[in-house]
Amino acid sequence: MSFTTGNRILAASMALALLAVIPATSPACADGDAAHGKEVFAKCALCHQIGEDARNNVGPALNGVYDAPAASRSGFNYSRALNEAGNNGLVWNAENLDNYLENPRGFLTGGRMAFAGIPSPDDRADIIAYLKQFP
Ligand code: HEC
């Protein structure tokens, strides 16, 4: 009796140990890690402000940019290419942001964002999660 009970406890604790291991080895969450995105945003902060009191700078203030039509931040003088893309229906959803941030000039010929891009898909997902925090 005590032997079987002990076995059950052993089995249960082994199952718990397995459960504890799974999250550490599962792939990165598709939603991105906004806290890490904030760190990666340092690369953008050279030209972009975001959050309370954000103002247009070399690039537009990025509050509300997620899911907004391209070139729709007020008071910013966009390139003709980005204005046209916005007029033609380009919206900054996750997929378009991901492609733009990977290679801004490749995504938009004639665009003015002089930035090489973020090669890591995880870093891009994290930045997008961060942008979403400023509706
Ligand atoms: C060297 C300056 C510079 C850097 C660095 C930069 N950007 Fe930009 N960004 C711009 C400029 C300028 C524009 C406007 C482009 C145009 O008019 O074609 C822009 C446009 C954008 C837009 C489109 C805004 C809209 O209203 O349509 C997004 C989104 C954006 N940048 C995100 C980012 C993110 C995220 C990063 C960092 C990974 C970044 N940018 C880094 C200068 C920069």
* Full 3-state SS string of 24-75: HHCCCCCCCCHHHHHHHHHHCCCCCCCCCCCCCCCCCCCCCCCCCECCCCCC
Does residue 110 come out as left (phi exceeding 0), alpha (psi in the -120 to 50 range) or beta? Answer: left
Q: Tell me the CATH number at 66.
A: 1.10.760.10
Domain membership of residue 13 (yes or no) is no
Report how many domains make up the chain: 1
Domain interval for residue 92: 29-132
Task: Please count the other Cβ atoms lying within 10 Å of the Cβ belonging to residue 118.
Answer: 20
What is the distance in A from the centroid of ligand 1 to the CA of 48? Answer: 7
The answer to whether position 2 is within a domain reads no
Q: Is residue 23 part of a domain?
A: no
Q: Kindly report the average pLDDT of the chain as a whole number.
A: 87
Q: Is 71 in the pocket of ligand 1 (CB under 6 A)?
A: yes
pLDDT band at 135 (very low <50, low <70, confident <90, very high): very high
The closest residue, in CA terms, to atom 5 on ligand 1 is 44
Which pLDDT belongs to residue 28? Answer: 45
Q: Calculate the CA 110 to chain-centre distance.
A: 24
Percent of the chain at pLDDT above 70?
Answer: 78
For residue 129 and ligand 1, the question of a CB distance below 6 A is answered with no
Q: Confirm or reject: Cβ of 128 under 6 Å from ligand 1.
A: no
Which pTM value belongs to this model?
0.83
Ligand 1 atom with least separation from CA of 110: 18
Q: Which pLDDT belongs to residue 24?
A: 42
On whether residue 101 sits in a domain, the answer given is yes
111 pocket-lining for ligand 1 (C-beta < 6 Å): yes
Q: Which range is least confidently modeled, 21-35, 50-64, 113-127? A: 21-35
Q: CA–CA separation, 117 vs 43, rounded Å?
A: 10
Asked if residue 10 belongs to a domain, the reply is: no
pLDDT in tens, 68-107: 999 999 999 999 999 999 999 999 999 999 999 999 999 9
- What's the CA gap between 69 and 37, in Å, rounded? 22
* Structure token pair of residue 37: 């995105």
17: enclosing H helix or E strand: helix 2-25
Cα 47 to ligand 1 centroid, rounded to whole Å: 7
Q: What is the tens place of the pLDDT at every residue in 9-39?
A: 555 555 555 445 444 433 444 689 999 999 9
Q: Is residue 88 part of a domain?
A: yes
- What pLDDT sits at residue 31? 82
